[in-house]
Structure 1
Amino acid sequence: MRIAIQPDFPQLVDQLHSLVPGVEAFLLPKAEQSNEAIVADALLGTAVGGSELPALIERMEGLRWIHILGTGVDKFPLHLVQDKLVTCSRGATASPISEWVLAMLLAHEKQLPKRWITEPPETWHMADLGCLENKTLGIIGFGAIGQAIAKRALAFDMKVVAKVRSHRSSPTPGVELVAELNDLLSVADHVALALPSTPESEGLIGAQAMAAMKPGVHLVNVSRANLIDQEALREYLDNGQISRASLDVVEPEPLPAGHWIYQHPQVFLSPHISWSGPNMIERIVRPFFENVVAFSKGQTLQGIVDTAAGY
């Protein structure tokens, strides 16, 4: 089995050679280095794809399977590989992302970092802090990340409602699933976006959705920036309908200097790092290694992507 590798991670090729007898792994060449055909059974690519990847894919012969490192695959050129088996490292970053979401919920309710002091305050012992207990968390998208968020929120005695494409039984006891977006938006004190970016979800949280939200809602986005209308967000932050937005993703990335999101007092902004945690390269690569073994044995692979749906 020949495996073409896009990301140049240390020891990755050597690890693949030792994983399955007969595996031949090699790094993809630069697009301008050669016009020769690239013969490979499998391709390991990154979630962001890269400008050179489409040209390289078109030169590949014998390609049967593609694994994408990452959960979101919307930036990968899926239109070129819709006849191939495509998998991704779905769920590999669910734990750190869900912890980031809970950190934002707690920071909002406990008024951090504003409540840290560096000089004597006006009063000791008194504050008007909130609690997660008995608050409602609405999660839009209930895959591995959404379920990891729900598990942690339930431990804080929150009520959890999750929006799914069609009504079904909840895989997580204690979580109510709804199919209508407004059924979630009207009751949630905190709303977390954990759904894939597809043509159907682009602009999902626009002015109409924001107007339907519970007044004072806290909006958290760990998915993709294009799910939110950023200019509408500015309006609804200014009028208080949304009391805070915690954003790990924005458009464009990085934001240019002076952008309003940097300056807005009701925005918590981080530079697309919610996925980060200990041993993350190993976590992201592990599903690929497991799939290499399964592929070599003709077994079913994990993390299969619906290339038509885009996730």
Structure 2
Amino acid sequence: MRIALQHDIPGLCEQLQGLGQAVDTYVVPSGDGPLQPFAADVLLCTVRGGDLPALITACQGLRWIHVFGTGIDGFPLSLLADDTVLTCSRGATATPIAEWVLATMLAREKQLPERWLKESPASWYAADLGCLEGKTLGIVGFGAIGQAVARRALAFDMQVMATVRRHRESPMPGVRLVEQLDSLLPQADHLVLALPATPESDGLINAQTLAALKPGAHLVNVSRASLVDQGALRTALDTGHLACASLDVVDPEPLPAGHWIYSHPGIRLSAHISWSGPNMTERLLAPFIANVQAFSRGEPLQGLVDKTAGY
């Protein structure tokens, strides 16, 4: 098996060659010149950084591509042959992202960091803090991240609803699955976006859907900025219909200096870091390593991407 690596990840070549399989690894050279054709059965790449179309075109005999990441938005799907398999490390970042989501919801209810003291307050022993207990969490998208968020929310005694493309029985007791976003929005105290970026999800959160959202709700986006109409978001925050938005993804990234999102009092902005956690390189590589072993044995791969649906 010939495996081409877009980037030289420390220790990966040795790890692949130590699997006990007939594995040859090749790190694609970087540079300003044109990329020369090379032979490989497998390509490990990233969606961002480098000329991915040129890399795919130069790779001869390609049978399988694995994206070192959890999303494939921006991937040149049109360049893939019908029989080329595409996988990604879907679910590898679900735990840190779910913990980040719970942190944003707790921060909203507990009024953090505003409640941390740096000087004597006007009064002690008094506050009007909220609780997650009894609140309704709406999750848009019930994949690995959505399910990880739901499990943690249930532990806080929240009411949990989640959208799915087609009706099915919930695999998680206590979670109600719905097909229509409209049936979820009026009930959600906290709305978490956990959908992949596709043409169907583009602009999903717009003036109409924000108007249908429960007044005073809190929006959390750990998915992709393309899901949210930022102009409509600003209006919803300015009018007070939406109380707060915790955004880990925005458009563009990075935001230019002076952008209104930085200073808006209703927005809590982070720098696309919700995925961060211990040993993230190992977490993201684990599905690829498992797939290399499955591929060598002719077994099904995990993290398969539906090239038609785009995720």
After superposition, the C-alpha distances for 1:161-199 in whole angstroms (9 at most, x for unaligned) are 001111111111110000001101010000000010000
Q: Summarize the alignment of residues 146-165 of structure 1 with structure 2, pairs less than 5 Å apart.
A: 146-165=146-165
* Residue aligned with 2:220, SS: strand
Residue 77 (structure 1) aligned with residue 71 (structure 2): no
What CA deviation, in whole Å up to 9, does each residue of 1:193-234 have, x standing for no partner?
001000000000000000000000100000000100001100
Q: Which residue of 1 aligns with 2:127?
A: 127
- How many correspondences in the alignment? 310
- Counterparts of 1:164-183 in structure 2 under 5 Å? 164-183=164-183
Secondary structure of residue in 1 paired with 2:232: helix
Tell me if structure 1 keeps the 8 A contact 2:248–2:270.
Answer: yes
Q: Which amino acid aligns with 2:30?
A: K
Partner of 1:277: 277
Equivalent in the alignment of 1:18: 18
- Letter in structure 2 aligned against 1:197: A
Task: Encode CA deviations 1:46-80: one digit per residue, 9 max, x unaligned.
Answer: 143x3411012112111000111111111222221
Q: Give 2:254's aligned amino acid.
A: P
Is the 1:221–1:247 contact (alpha carbons within 8 Å) kept by the matching residues of 2? yes
Structure-1-length-normalised TM-score: 0.97
Work out the CA distance in 2 between the residues paired with 1:236 and 1:96. 29
Where does 1:1-311 land on structure 2 (aligned, <5 Å)? 1-30=1-30, 32-48=32-48, 50-81=49-80, 83=82, 84-311=84-311
Q: Structure 1, residues 12-36: CA drift from partner, whole Å, max 9, x if none?
A: 1121111232100111123644553
**Structure 1 stretch displaced more, 7-16 or 102-111:** 7-16
CA distance in 1, matches of 2:279, 2:115: 32
SS in 1 for 2:187: coil
CA contact (8 A) 2:35 2:54 kept: no
Distance 1:144 1:70 in 2: 14
User: 1 CA distance for matches of 2:28 and 2:298?
Assistant: 25
Query: Is 283-292 or 64-73 further displaced after alignment?
Result: 64-73
% identical aligned pairs? 63
Supply the distance in 2 between the matched residues of 1:36 and 1:8 (Cα, whole angstroms): 18
Residues of 1 paired with 2:164 and 2:261: CA distance? 29
Distance 1:217 1:6, change over 3 A: same
Question: 4+ runs of 1 displaced by more than 2 Å?
Answer: 29-36
Deviation at 1:271, TM superposition (A): 0.3
| CA distance in structure 2 between the partners assigned to 1:21 and 1:294 by the alignment | 11
Gaps of 5+ in 1: none
Amino acid at match of 1:58: T
Q: Return the TM-score normalized by structure 2.
A: 0.97
Distance 1:24 1:284 in 2: 21
Root-mean-square deviation (Å):
1.1
Distance across 1 between alignment mates of 2:182 and 2:20: 50
